[in-house]
Structures are given as C-alpha cells and as structure tokens.
C-alpha cells in the first residue's frame, strides 16, 4: 500500500548464519542484541537460521487505533515539514499517510516498521562478484542510497544516519576500509538500536569490531611498565568526549553548568588513564581466545567483521581503574567483561548523557540552535524513557530510551509550531546527502539495477563533498558547535554545523551535480542507474503555478517565498510550449522547476 | 595605536562590504591608512597542517648513540631502527650540545633542505598562555590552554585565539590577513585554503577563501543555455545569490556569490596545473600545493602582495600501526613539499615564501603497543629561502621519561609557545611589532623572546 514499498528480496539469498553482529551467544550481553534484532527486523533482517532475505512486511500496527497526539491532523504542508525532519524527505504517499492518520500513528507505525539489512545487501553483492572483483566502498554507498530512497523504515534510517554522525566510524580509515561488510553491519547496528536504549547502543558501539578498529581498542593490551608500554587511550577519550558526556558538565537544558562563572570539566587525564585500562583485552571474535586470534593472525573467523569483539582476559589490565565516579580496585583475576559493564554503566548514568545526546539529535533532525527549554524537554524524555503527547504515549520508562527521545524531538512545539519559521535563526542547513536523498524520494527515483549504483561522493568540486560512513575523522563531517567565522550567524551567537562543509568549492560542486542529476539521473551506467519519475510533474508542466505548487510542497513543505516563486515561474515560463514536440518542453519546464528549487537557499535550509 | 587600529578595522570593514559589489574596490589606494605596514615585494606563508597529531618522536629522532639508546629504551616496539637513519642524519648540532639527530627515513628532501641551510627545526613547540613549568602545570597554578589532548580543540588552539577551542572565530593566519590585506588589490585572495575549512584563516575582516585542489571551477548553471532556456541562467544566478532574513539562507547566498566572483577572477589568471608537474608519489597534498603554486604564479594578475595559505594532510592520529602509517604519510609530505619547493625555485620566489608545519599536538613518548597517544609539545619544520636553516631552535629535550619537561608518559611541556612561532611569521610578513599582539595576544607574556630567530 506504500508508494515506496520495497521490492521483494527473495531472490537474494542470505548466507545462513552470517547475520550482522551475532556471536553464537558467546557473550551474555549479545542475547539482548539478538532480541533487538528480532524486533527490529522482524520480517527482513538477520536470523541465525538464515534463508532468503524476506520481503519486509508492514509494521502490523493498526494506524486507526493509535491515540492522537496533541496535534490535530496536519495539513499537507505541515505533514511534509514533519516528514523532512523524520525521514529522508517527504513523498506524496507519506504526506497523505501523515495527513490521514496523524503524527502519532505515523511514528508508532515507524517504530515497528521492519527493514532490510545493509549487511545482507553486501553479502548478496559479495556472492555475485566475478572472480578477481572485490567489494569496494561503493557497495556500502549503494545500500545506503537504496534504503534512504526507498526503505519503508524511514524514521529508523534517518535516526541511524544521525547516530552515524555521533558514533562515527569511517571508511576513510585505511584499516576500517578493508571491511565493507563490517561497516554495513555497523550501520545496521545503529538502526537496530535507533529506538532502543542508549545503554545497549553504547555497549554495541563499543564492542563492534569496526569501532574497535577505528578507535584502536581492538587488540589493545594491558600496560607493561618494564617496556614503558601503556594501554591505548583513544577509545577511553573519545567515548567520553564524543559518544556520551562531552567535555563540560551540563545543566539538564544542555547549557554548561558554571561554577564561579567557569565551566566544569567532566574528566581529566587521570580519568582517561583509568578508563583506558578497561578497554584492554578485547579483540576479534572467534571460536577460541588464543593469542594469535587476539593479534588478528592465524585462522580468522570468516564472520569476525560482523561479530562483536570478545574478551581476552590475559591481555586485560588488572591494575586499579579510577574514572568518573567509579573505582575498580586492582585485582588478581582479569575480568574484562565485568570491568566493561561497570565502565559503561558509569558513563551511561552520567547526568550529561540526556542533554548531550538529545541536543545533537535535535541538531541532526530539526534545528541547529534549539532553545535550552527544547533540549530540556527532550532530555527529560530521555531520562524518563517515556514521552506523552495528547492521548498518545510511548516508551518503556527505562532511562535512555531513544524511542521516547525521538518522539519528543519530533513532536516538540519548537519542531512543530509554524511560528518558528519566521525566526531568522531557526532551522538547519540541509547536508548534501539529505538533499540528494530527498530528490530521489520526492520524485520516486528508481534504480534500473535495483541496487542504486551511486558511489562515493566525497569530491566537493564535482559532487557532494560528503559520503555516508566516510567522515574525515571521528569528529564527523562538522562539529555541533561550529560557528562560521565572520558571518551574521556568528554575530547572532548561533552555530551552524553543516556550514562547516559549505564553501566556495562545495557550492559549485553541488549545483553542477544537481544540474546533471535533475536531467540525467544519478549513478553509474548509461543511461544512469538511478532515474527520477517526473510523471506527476510533467502532467502539471503546462501550468507553472501548479507545477511549482507541487515541487514546493514536496521539497520546501510549501514554504517557498513569493520572491523565489516569481524567479522560478519566470524561468519555467521562459520555455515556451510549442505546437509540436511538447514533451521536450514539458521536460525542460519540470527540470527548471526542480533544479531551481533544489538550488534555492530556501530549500537548502530545512525549517 | 588603539585609535589607528580602530580606524583600520573600520576601513577594512567598509571595504569588505564594498567587496561584495565589486572585487576591485579593495585596492591599496583606498585603504592607505592601513598600508603603513608595508614591506616591499611579495611574501607569503604556507601552513602545512598535519591533522591528527604528528608523532614528533619518530619525526626527528635522536641519533648519536647515547641519545638513540635513550630513545630506543623509551619507545619499545615503535622505535625506528638506528641503521635506517644514517642517510637522514643531521650531524652534530652545536646549539643542542653537539647531539645528533636524524629525520624520519621518509623525509629525504627535508634532509636535503637542511643541508642547503633552507630548513630549520623548531623544537618542542605547543600552545601555552604563559611560560609554564611542569610543577606549575601539575599545580594548575598558571593559566593553561583549555581542553589539552583533545583533537578538535587543540587544532583550534593551534590555529586560533578567541574564543579558544571548538567554535573559535579568529585564526592567527586570518589576523595577519586583516593587518596586511590592504596591500592586496583583492582582499578575498589574502587568506586561501586549499586544504579544507580551517579557522586558522579566519580574520575579523578577512574571510578564508577555499579553493579545490584542481583549481577554480565554475557553476555551469549561471551561464549559457539552461535546460533549453536562454534567460534562465541569469535568473538562476539571482536565485542562488539572493539575500534572506533567515541567517543560514543568507549565508548560503553570500558564499555562493563569493564563489562566483572569485572564480571568475582566478580562472582568468591562473596558469594551467601542468605548469607545475606533480611529484611521484603524487597525492592530494601535492595537488593542494599545486594550486597554491598556481595562485602564487598569478600574484601580479590578482594584485596579491601578502598571502597566507593553508594546505593539509590527515592520517597522523597513529594510535595504531604507527610505524607503517606514519611512514606513509611522511612519504606523501616529503614528496609534495619537495615538489613545491622546486616550483618556488622555478618561479624564483623561494626567498619570498616560507612553509611551516603545524599539528594538533605531539604524542606520548610511551608506546601503547602499536602506536602513541595524544600529547602536547611537538617538533616542527620551517622551510624556505629566507629561513636561517641547518639549525634547531629551542631546546630538544632528552627523549626519556622523568625529564624536566615530562608531564607524564613522556609528553612534553612545550618550551616554545605557538604564539612565538606565529609572531615570527607575522613579523616576517610585515606586521609591525606593535601590531603583533593583535595577531597573538599572549605573546606579550613571553617577555623579550616574542620572536624566534629562524626568520
């Protein structure tokens, strides 16, 4: 019934037992992960029994019975605006669904919507490679675009993409890039936890081998004073600075807590040293815990890149571990799993986590500069594990629940009230990936191969200057606190993260990329693999205003200004409708409307 | 002083607004008051930023036997074998008590420039607010740079003054640009990054201009026929450069407008990339330096007399695989910098351009098994025909634990402040003594040693 219902994957066999991180129950905490897999990918994901990747069915949620939120059924423009925050971009079908059932029903539906596995996609590709061919980064990009464009579990995808920009691993790292399947599995893991609990997410992020490689705690050894060797501190530092609590103590509204007018640091070098000892003695999974396996040699488990790391007690520090509020005394028996549990419990229970994570998720989904009150309301939902709007309520009541957090972000008055649109500091610059995915969705792009063969788009000169899962560093493509120097934004005291990758080069690359995409489609092949379907727009092409109405609704949630509309109308009307060969004229009129809108600053800022 | 400073800022501010309307409006005559800070001819500095925190210990290695033994004992499995260092050894360095050192084996061209007297080492430089001892650091009894050991923050601290850390808005390259832009006919080509967005080049008035490593590229939609329409391209340019009440929309229009006007000027002036053949191995860094060379080559055409450039190379956060990955990155840097110096000689401007390295931080002396962790002070290189080379400035501390500069794990308390390093370049470019503290305010805390004698 969905316009973007996914194509059956039953022809794509899933290698039995190759599901994204599974461990054969080697570690206790993985059982919870498997349970989450079962919930999240009920019909489409991985299962130990293997078999074909089944075609995902609907969520099973009866939309008519979901209690209404505090908001009335939205008009089309409001629904589109909501979808631009909650998905990879509005489509006609989803707009109609939100209008018909309301926000809460759409969210409830999405919370239980099954989806396809990136790892299964990679496995399928891998199995079909000709001799001498190997996986490359493009394959990870392909499955990302396929799901961004056509996945029915859009909210999960959008939140997972947001999480991938907080809990960063990157194919730009030469070690990580050897493991395309591992990176696909990491992205699956983020999606699986997108509506789960933060503590579980932190656990799986920490133990995923791609993170272990990226932040080098995989095969990290305990100290050896005789050789002046200490544990690698990389993960200990970044897990606190970037994935959980940040550098300074926060108030519940996300503002720094000041003591004597000064911010208070959350940790110092001593905490890093203490915590670094926890992250020792973890390495590749496999059927044994031999030293050779720890160092990555010998007979490697063929699935090691998608299996959570396992502990190797002989490499785990038994020294005292003092960090934050925790002290793990020196012992005689190494207990890597026990120490890890204490460490992640300690970090996850820090009061900073709610505001720290909430604010960044708001920035990724809704607006770059949320008011402290908005952050506080979302952090409250994070802490309470529950969110209520009108008669609708969601969440288990467990602290750290991301389902309640996401609902709180999207249904907050600051996200929903149209009055905010007039605030000159409201909204966020759309990042290039979101713009491109939105174009695919708004115009029902389809892939001739079914595989969405658009590869790496790093090159800012000729493409997007951004590729999913290819951040330059663990600090993401841009920082949440980025202030573009010498601008009215800086003067106003605001941040604009996405502007960190907007520059004199990137504006050229994007414009030229889109000019070509709008006319020729995207991706490899000739004709290009990914083609838009402008059928509905072509039907309106004789009337510039009707055409612009439709494009404006889908791309700008109907917010196009009169001045912009006038420029676009003139451009569309500059292509006269001839007596003959009207098809070409109509095509060019549609291309002008779409390309102009996609290039307009009003579109480039999601509001 | 204060009054003339304000006057300058006001003038430049008016100028930068005028610059939107007409790029040639910002000429030397119109900004005469600021042109007092003039030195004849052309001069430029090029910052090579090594992102990730370069492992300084394996970049310049103690080589005389006792010093090497100390290094080897400290570094365990991440030490470079001494027999690999013979070709890049410096010989005895008198200023360091006759100790000998060796460049990383990949840095062959650095060794050549050293021998030619064109390359100097600045030892143990890092962010400081005041001269600081280990005891003062341990007691937190003096002001310290914030968020030490954090990548993004220390990148900012190296590059920028205020506010310090992530979110900084004023880089010292940009501040130099503020003070010297009056000598350029086109202010937008004062501070140029070929190495990505860096706060280093952001001034109060001067805006960093980012250029791709392949040189300027045009927006195709603003000229010619667009989807069969002859008139749409002009409308398209209006659309994408328009103003808006929304601050983000407005800024997108500003950047796009700057891109279009700068591109038109530059693309008309730059020689082809092939003028400066890329080295082997080639790299993105070599391409960045190639476009810098092309811009320097066009200095007369674009009216540039003082310029600050930034290029960058990542991959230096070697917590793991230090020996192999560090070698790879230094091999790239060696080839690219060698080629660039050759291009400068080709243009006859090797005495007018100074290249220097910078990085997030140095790294621990301790091994973590396969790499090193985040540190503080680090050794850096300065290269160019005007550099008083074949010398190590500052004090190269013993490569050992428990020294007077060891703040733990062999991390070095810097002996030279970034502000002193920066002040030296600022003065060389022509910033007056009285204005240098406007570039690096904390330099006044370093008494009479505001400048280092390498330039």
Express each pLDDT in B172-204 by its tens digit.
999 999 999 999 999 999 999 999 999 999 998
All residues of chain A having their beta carbon less than 8 Å from the beta carbon of residue B229 are 571, 574-575, 588, 592
Query: What pLDDT shows up at residue B165?
Result: 60
Q: Is the pLDDT of residue A539 over 50?
A: yes
| Closest CB from A220, A483, A501 relative to B169 | A483
Could you report the per-residue pLDDT of A79-119, keeping only the tens digit for each?
999 999 999 999 999 999 999 999 999 999 999 999 999 99
Distance from B19 to chain A by nearest Cα, in Å? Answer: 14
Q: Which domain holds residue A319?
A: 209-348
| Closest CB from A233, A503, A600 relative to B255 | A503
Contact check, Cβ <8 Å, A507/B255:
yes
Out of A348, A378, A401, a domain closes at A348
Q: What are phi and psi of B334, to 5 degrees?
A: -60, -50
Query: What pLDDT shows up at residue A298?
Result: 87
All residues of chain B having their beta carbon less than 8 Å from the beta carbon of residue A496 are 248, 251
Q: Which residues numbered 390-449 in A keep a CB inside 8 Å of some CB on B?
A: 424-429
Contact check, Cβ <8 Å, A220/B408:
no
All residues of chain B having their beta carbon less than 8 Å from the beta carbon of residue A216 are 319-320, 370-371
All residues of chain B having their beta carbon less than 8 Å from the beta carbon of residue A225 are none
Query: What pLDDT shows up at residue B16?
Result: 39
- For A206, residues 6+ apart whose C-beta sits below 8 A from its C-beta are A217, A235, A239, A279, A340, A344
Per the structure block, which two tokens stand in for B177?
């640009």
Could you report the per-residue pLDDT of A491-520, keeping only the tens digit for each?
999 999 999 999 999 999 999 999 999 999
Whether residue A509 is contained in a domain is answered as no
Per the structure block, which two tokens stand in for B133?
């001892």
Residues in chain B: 455
Whether residue A417 is contained in a domain is answered as no
Q: A9 pLDDT band (50/70/90 cuts)? A: very low
Distance from A89 to chain B by nearest Cα, in Å? Answer: 19
Q: B162 pLDDT band (50/70/90 cuts)? A: low
Give the integer Cα–Cα distance in Å for A407 and A376. 14
Whether residue A122 is contained in a domain is answered as no
The H or E element that residue B174 is part of is helix B172-180
Instruction: Decide: B278 and B339 in contact? Cβ < 8 Å.
Output: yes
Which residues make beta-bridge pairs with B375? none
- Look at residue A573 and give its three-state secondary structure: helix
Q: Is the pLDDT of residue B247 over 70?
A: yes
Q: For a pLDDT cut of 70, what percent of chain B falls above it?
A: 90
All residues of chain A having their beta carbon less than 8 Å from the beta carbon of residue B249 are 601-602, 604-605
Tokens 């407008």, located at residue: B257
All residues of chain B having their beta carbon less than 8 Å from the beta carbon of residue A369 are none
All residues of chain A having their beta carbon less than 8 Å from the beta carbon of residue B69 are none
Kindly provide the b/e burial profile for residues A229-261, where b requires at least 16 CB atoms within 10 angstroms of the residue's own CB: bbbbbbbbbbbbbbbbbbbbbbbbbbeeeeeee
**Mean per-residue pLDDT, B415-436:** 97
Mean pLDDT in chain A? 91
Contact check, Cβ <8 Å, A230/B364:
yes
Query: What pLDDT shows up at residue A214?
Result: 96
Give the integer Cα–Cα distance in Å for A399 and A405. 10
Which DSSP state fits B204? S
| Closest chain A CA to residue B162 | A485
Q: A42 pLDDT band (50/70/90 cuts)? A: very low
Which DSSP state fits B400? S
Per the structure block, which two tokens stand in for A487?
């601008």
Distance from B81 to chain A by nearest Cα, in Å? Answer: 17
Give the integer Cα–Cα distance in Å for B409 and B76. 13
| Mutate which: A426, A463, A478, A485, vs B, most B CBs within 10 A | A485
Per the structure block, which two tokens stand in for B347?
């243009």
Cα–Cα nearest to A532, from A604, A430, A440, A602: A440
Query: What pLDDT shows up at residue A208?
Result: 98
Cβ-based burial of A262 (10 A; exposed 0-12, middle 13-18, buried ≥19): exposed
Which DSSP state fits A457? -
Could you report the per-residue pLDDT of B253-275, keeping only the tens digit for each?
999 999 999 999 999 999 999 99
Give the integer Cα–Cα distance in Å for A511 and A507. 6
Q: For a pLDDT cut of 70, what percent of chain A falls above it?
A: 91
| Mutate which: B170, B227, B257, B363, vs A, most A CBs within 10 A | B227
Contact check, Cβ <8 Å, A585/B228:
yes
Could you report the per-residue pLDDT of A339-387, keeping only the tens digit for each?
999 999 999 999 999 999 999 999 999 999 999 999 999 999 999 999 9
**Touching check for A32 and chain B: CB below 8 Å?**
no
Comparing A17-21, A71-75, A243-247, B278-282, the range with the smallest average pLDDT is A17-21
**Mean per-residue pLDDT, B346-374:** 95
Domain layout of chain B by residue ranges: 33-215+275-446, 217-269
Cα–Cα nearest to A18, from A62, A43, A55, A49: A49
ipTM over 0.95? The verdict is no
Q: Is the pLDDT of residue B3 over 80?
A: no
Query: What pLDDT shows up at residue A84?
Result: 98
Q: Is the pLDDT of residue B19 over 50?
A: no
Per the structure block, which two tokens stand in for B281?
């191995």
Q: Is the pLDDT of residue A423 over 50?
A: yes
CA B447 to chain centre: 24
Whether residue A270 is contained in a domain is answered as yes
Q: Is the pLDDT of residue A40 over 90?
A: no
Comparing A56-60, A272-276, B208-212, B223-227, the range with the smallest average pLDDT is A56-60
Give the integer Cα–Cα distance in Å for B127 and B376. 8
Cα–Cα nearest to A40, from A118, A100, A124: A118
Q: Which residues numbered 184-243 in A keep a CB inside 8 Å of some CB on B?
A: 215-216, 219-221, 227-234, 237, 241
Q: Cα separations (Å) of A126 from A25, A143, A454, A585?
A: 26, 13, 17, 43
Q: Which residues numbered 488-547 in A keep a CB inside 8 Å of some CB on B?
A: 488-490, 492, 494-496, 499-505, 507-509, 511-512, 515, 519
| Mutate which: A276, A584, A598, A601, vs B, most B CBs within 10 A | A601
Q: Is the pLDDT of residue B280 over 60?
A: yes
| Closest CB from A216, A473, A599 relative to B239 | A599
Could you report the per-residue pLDDT of A255-302, keeping only the tens digit for each?
999 999 999 999 999 999 999 999 999 999 999 999 999 999 888 999
Out of A326, A348, A370, a domain closes at A348
Residues in chain A: 607
Contact check, Cβ <8 Å, A486/B247:
no
All residues of chain B having their beta carbon less than 8 Å from the beta carbon of residue A272 are 149
| Closest CB from B210, B217, B248 relative to A427 | B248
Could you report the per-residue pLDDT of A569-600, keeping only the tens digit for each?
999 999 999 999 899 999 999 999 999 999 99
Query: What pLDDT shows up at residue B160?
Result: 86
Per the structure block, which two tokens stand in for A214?
């990226």
| Closest chain B CA to residue A495 | B167
Distance from B385 to chain A by nearest Cα, in Å? Answer: 32
Mean pLDDT in chain B? 90
Could you report the per-residue pLDDT of B48-103, keeping only the tens digit for each?
999 999 999 999 999 999 999 999 999 988 999 999 999 999 999 999 999 999 99
Query: What pLDDT shows up at residue B76?
Result: 82
Contact check, Cβ <8 Å, A461/B240:
no
What secondary structure does DSSP assign to A51-69, as a single string? EE-PPP------GGGSPP-
Whether residue A388 is contained in a domain is answered as no
Give the integer Cα–Cα distance in Å for A270 and A389. 44
Reading phi first (left if > 0) and then psi (alpha if -120 to 50, else beta), residue B128 is in: beta
SS3 assignment for A209-231: HHHHHHCCCCCCCCCEHHHCECC
Q: Is the pLDDT of residue B1 over 50?
A: no
Q: B15 pLDDT band (50/70/90 cuts)? A: very low
SS3 assignment for A279-321: CCCEECCCCCCCHHHHCCCCCCCCCHHHCCCEECHHHCCCCCE
Query: What pLDDT shows up at residue B167?
Result: 67
Domain count across chain A: 2
Instruction: Decide: A222 and A277 in contact? Cβ < 8 Å.
Output: yes
Per the structure block, which two tokens stand in for B282?
């080639």
Could you report the per-residue pLDDT of A208-218, keeping only the tens digit for each?
999 999 999 99
All residues of chain A having their beta carbon less than 8 Å from the beta carbon of residue B208 are 485
**Mean per-residue pLDDT, B388-403:** 96
All residues of chain A having their beta carbon less than 8 Å from the beta carbon of residue B174 are 485
| Closest CB from A504, A574, A595 relative to B258 | A504
Query: What pLDDT shows up at residue B448?
Result: 85
| Mutate which: B247, B258, B359, vs A, most A CBs within 10 A | B247
Could you report the per-residue pLDDT of A542-557, keeping only the tens digit for each?
999 999 999 999 999 9
Contact check, Cβ <8 Å, A174/B256:
no
Q: B166 pLDDT band (50/70/90 cuts)? A: low
Whether residue A560 is contained in a domain is answered as yes
Whether residue A10 is contained in a domain is answered as no
Q: Which residues numbered 341-380 in A keep a CB inside 8 Å of some CB on B?
A: 368
| Closest chain B CA to residue A507 | B256
User: Looking at the domain that runs over B33-215+275-446, which CATH code has it been given?
Assistant: 3.40.720
Contact check, Cβ <8 Å, A599/B240:
yes
Query: What pLDDT shows up at residue B39?
Result: 58
Out of A322, A348, A374, a domain closes at A348
Could you report the per-residue pLDDT of A125-144, keeping only the tens digit for each?
999 999 999 999 999 999 99
The H or E element that residue A429 is part of is strand A428-429
Whether residue A232 is contained in a domain is answered as yes
Kindly provide the b/e burial profile for residues A2-28, where b requires at least 16 CB atoms within 10 angstroms of the residue's own CB: eebebeebeebebeeebbbbbbeeebe
- Angle among Cα B248, B249, B253 to the nearest 5 degrees reads 115
Q: A227 pLDDT band (50/70/90 cuts)? A: confident
């Amino acid at each position: 019934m969905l316009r973007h219902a996914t194509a059956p994957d039953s022809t794509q066999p899933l290698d039995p037992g190759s599901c994204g991180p599974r461990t054969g129950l080697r570690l206790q905490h993985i059982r919870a992960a498997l349970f989450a897999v079962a919930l999240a990918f009920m019909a489409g994901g991985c299962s130990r029994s293997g078999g074909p990747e089944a075609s995902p069915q609907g969520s099973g949620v009866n939309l008519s019975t979901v209690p209404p939120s505090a908001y009335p059924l939205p008009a089309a423009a409001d629904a589109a605006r909501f979808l631009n925050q909650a998905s990879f971009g509005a489509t006609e079908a989803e707009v109609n669904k939100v209008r018909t059932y309301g926000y809460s029903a759409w969210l409830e539906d999405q919370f239980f919507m099954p989806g396809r596995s990136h790892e299964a996609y990679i496995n399928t590709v891998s199995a079909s490679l000709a001799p001498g061919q190997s996986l490359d980064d493009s394959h990870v990009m392909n499955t990302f675009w396929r799901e961004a464009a056509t996945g029915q579990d859009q909210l999960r995808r959008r939140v997972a993409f947001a999480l991938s920009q907080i809990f960063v691993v990157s194919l730009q790292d030469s070690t990580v890039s050897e493991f395309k399947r591992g990176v696909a599995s990491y992205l699956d893991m983020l999606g699986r936890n997108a509506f789960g609990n933060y503590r579980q997410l932190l656990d799986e992020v920490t133990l995923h081998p791609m993170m272990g490689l990226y932040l080098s705690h995989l095969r990290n050894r305990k100290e050896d004073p005789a050789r002046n060797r200490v544990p690698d501190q990389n993960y200990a530092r970044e897990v606190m600075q970037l994935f959980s609590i940040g550098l300074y103590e926060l108030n519940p509204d996300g503002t720094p807590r000041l003591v004597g007018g000064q911010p208070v640091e959350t940790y110092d070098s001593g905490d890093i040293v203490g915590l670094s000892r926890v992250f020792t003695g973890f390495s590749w999974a496999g059927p044994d815990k031999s030293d050779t396996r720890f160092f990555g040699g010998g007979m490697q488990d063929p699935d090691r890149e998608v299996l959570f790391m396992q502990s190797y007690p002989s490499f785990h520090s038994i020294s005292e571990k003092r960090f934050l509020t925790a002290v793990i005394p020196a012992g005689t028996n190494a207990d890597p799993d026990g120490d890890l549990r204490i460490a992640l419990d300690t970090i996850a229970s820090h009061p900073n986590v709610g505001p720290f994570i909430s604010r960044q998720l708001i920035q990724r989904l809704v607006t770059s500069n949320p008011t402290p009150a908005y952050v506080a309301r979302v952090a409250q939902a994070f802490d309470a594990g529950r969110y209520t709007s009108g008669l609708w309520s969601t969440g288990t009541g467990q602290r750290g629940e991301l389902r309640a957090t996401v609902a709180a972000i999207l249904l907050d008055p600051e996200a929903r009230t149209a009055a905010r649109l007039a605030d000159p500091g409201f909204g966020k610059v759309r990042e290039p990936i979101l713009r491109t995915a939105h174009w695919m969705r708004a115009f029902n792009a389809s892939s001739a191969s079914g595989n969405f063969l658009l590869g790496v788009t790093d090159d800012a000169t000729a493409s997007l200057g951004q590729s999913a899962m290819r951040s330059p560093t663990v600090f993401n493509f841009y920082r949440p606190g980025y202030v573009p120097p010498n601008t009215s934004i800086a003067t106003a005291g605001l941040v604009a993260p996405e502007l960190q990758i907007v520059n004199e080069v990137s504006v050229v690359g994007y414009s030229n990329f889109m000019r070509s995409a709008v006319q020729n489609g995207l991706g490899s092949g000739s004709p290009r693999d990914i083609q838009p379907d402008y059928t509905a727009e072509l039907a309106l092409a004789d009337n510039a205003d009707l055409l612009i109405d439709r494009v404006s609704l889908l791309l700008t949630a109907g917010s196009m200004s009169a001045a912009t509309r006038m420029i676009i109308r003139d451009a569309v009307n500059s292509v006269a409708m001839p007596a003959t060969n009207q098809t070409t004229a109509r095509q060019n009129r549609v291309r002008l409307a779409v390309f102009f809108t996609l290039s307009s600053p009003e579109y480039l800022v999601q509001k | 002083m204060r009054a003339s400073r304000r006057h300058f800022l006001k003038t430049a501010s008016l100028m930068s607004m005028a610059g939107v309307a007409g790029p040639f409006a910002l000429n030397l005559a119109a900004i005469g008051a600021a042109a007092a800070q003039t030195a004849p001819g052309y001069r430029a500095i090029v910052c090579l930023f090594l992102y990730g925190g370069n492992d300084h210990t394996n970049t310049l290695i103690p080589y005389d036997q006792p010093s090497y033994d100390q290094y080897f004992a400290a570094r365990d499995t991440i030490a470079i074998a001494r027999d690999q260092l013979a070709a890049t050894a410096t010989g005895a360095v008198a200023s360091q008590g006759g100790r000998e050192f060796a460049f990383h084996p990949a840095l062959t061209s650095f060794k050549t420039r050293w021998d030619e007297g064109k390359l100097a080492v600045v030892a143990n430089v890092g962010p400081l607010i005041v001269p600081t001892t280990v005891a003062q650091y341990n007691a937190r009894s003096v002001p310290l740079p914030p968020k030490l050991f954090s990548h993004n923050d220390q990148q900012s601290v190296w590059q920028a003054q205020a506010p310090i850390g992530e979110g900084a808005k004023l880089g010292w390259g940009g501040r130099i640009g503020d003070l010297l832009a009056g000598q350029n006919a086109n202010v937008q080509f004062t501070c140029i990054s070929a190495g990505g967005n860096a706060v280093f080049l952001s001034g109060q008035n001067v805006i960093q201009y980012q250029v791709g490593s392949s040189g300027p590229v045009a927006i195709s939609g603003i000229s010619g026929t667009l989807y069969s329409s002859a008139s749409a391209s002009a409308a398209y340019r209006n659309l994408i450069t328009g103003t808006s009440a929304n601050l983000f929309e407005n800024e997108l229009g500003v950047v796009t407008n700057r891109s279009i006007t700068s591109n038109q000027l530059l693309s008309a002036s730059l020689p082809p990339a092939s003028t400066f053949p890329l080295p082997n191995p080639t790299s993105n860094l070599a391409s960045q330096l190639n476009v810098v060379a092309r811009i320097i080559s066009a200095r007369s055409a674009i009216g540039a007399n003082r310029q600050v450039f930034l290029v960058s190379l990542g991959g230096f956060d070697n917590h793991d695989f230090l020996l192999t990955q560090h070698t790879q990155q230094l091999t790239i840097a060696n080839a690219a910098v060698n080629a660039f110096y050759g291009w400068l000689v080709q243009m006859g401007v090797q005495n007018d351009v100074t290249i220097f390295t910078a990085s997030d931080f140095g790294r621990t002396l301790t091994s973590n098994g396969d790499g090193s962790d985040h540190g503080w002070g680090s050794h850096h290189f300065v290269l160019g025909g005007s550099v008083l080379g074949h010398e190590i400035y500052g004090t190269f501390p013993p490569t050992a634990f428990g020294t007077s500069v060891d703040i733990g794990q062999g991390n070095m308390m810097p002996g030279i402040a970034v502000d002193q390093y920066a002040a030296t370049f600022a003065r060389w470019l022509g910033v007056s003594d009285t204005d240098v503290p406007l570039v690096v305010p904390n330099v006044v805390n370093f008494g009479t040693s505001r400048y280092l004698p390498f330039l």
